[in-house]
Amino acid sequence: MIIQAFPSGPFQTNAYVIGCPVTRDAAIVDPAPDSAEVILEFLQHNKLKAKQILLTHSHWDHISDIAALKASMPLTVSVHSSDKDNLQKPGSDQLPYWIPFAGIQADRLLEDGDAIEVGNIHFRVIHTPGHSPGSVCFYCDKEHVLISGDTLFKGTIGNLTFPTSIPEAMWPSLDKLAALPHKTKVYPGHGPSTTIGAEEWLPKAKEYFENESL
């Protein structure tokens, strides 16, 4: 698997390109502000053809360069059904943003357990509500790779104080991730990568974080 992170925008949100080394098909994950140009350069340099945009959730810092990318190539956009309205009408989640960008209608609405193919690479959608109602992770069982969005970071979890966050839903979501193989490589929405095994606190996440201001 080819996987490359592009920390971009005011919050250094990790946009990703995932590529199949055999077919050269690719997917773009969470195109953050100011990520489109470097993503397009990476695709061209590596002779990859992006066919889809996958969203871990619809917060503005993960979606704002979708329109710029779609203007350069035909791309389908996939998001969980619970986050589709905010994708179509940014700001409906009551999060303020100051970078103008167009809303997008999703081409595919994701649900827990859905399969996603990037060339010969197969991902499974894991619905992980908490940070947002439609937060998802993308898990490749064969290569033990997890794209975790803002559900899981190295050493911590996503903010649960946003207007549409569901704190009580986060703990079962993290339990799903804790059950993955310890060697699973985690690529989060912000910050450095980690592994499931390195996050030893995961099985006790509720105890660690429930009473903290996240």
Structure tokens given for 187? 């690529």
Length of the chain: 214
Structure tokens given for 203? 């099985």
3-state secondary structure of 140: strand
What CATH number matches the domain at 2-90+109-209, 1.10.10.10, 3.30.420.10, 3.40.50.620, 3.60.15.10? 3.60.15.10
Q: What is the pLDDT of residues 29-80, one digit of tens each?
A: 999 999 999 999 999 999 999 999 999 999 999 999 999 999 999 999 999 9
Please tell me the distance from the alpha carbon of residue 12 to that of residue 191, in angstroms, as a whole number: 8
pLDDT(213) > 60: no
Q: What is the pLDDT of residues 143-197, one digit of tens each?
A: 999 999 999 999 999 999 999 999 999 999 999 999 999 999 999 999 999 999 9
